[in-house]
Structure 1
């Protein structure tokens, strides 16, 4: 009986850990999408456009 109870406790721990992992993954995804949402609102600016902004000096 003791082994069965230990297995039940371990199963509950694993389920709790899995739920925490899912929440953490969802939070990372939400943070990433929130971080990129304001940048992609008006479109991206390429880095090549910044490089040739000014004419070269003679």
Structure 2
């Protein structure tokens, strides 16, 4: 009986882990799709202008 309970616990743990992995995969896929579509999120990463590193700073 004890082995059966351990099996049930392990099965439930594996199901939770699989659900978590699916959720992570879905979030990553949505994030990639958002970037691909050009969607900008508020508070996202800010990049410097491309030509900012061409000029040296004045002393």
Tell me if TM exceeds 0.5.
yes
Task: Considering Cα pairs closer than 8 Å and 6+ residues apart, tell me whether 1 or 2 has the greater RCO.
Answer: 2
Match of 2:7 in 1: 7
Runs of 5+ in structure 1 lacking a partner?
40-58
Query: Across the two proteins, how many residue pairs are aligned to each other?
Result: 39
Q: Which has the larger radius of gyration?
A: 1
State TM-score, norm by structure 2. Answer: 0.64
List 4+ stretches of structure 1 deviating above 3 A: none
* Cα RMSD after superposing both structures: 1.2
Runs of 5+ in structure 2 lacking a partner?
40-59
State TM-score, norm by structure 1. Answer: 0.65
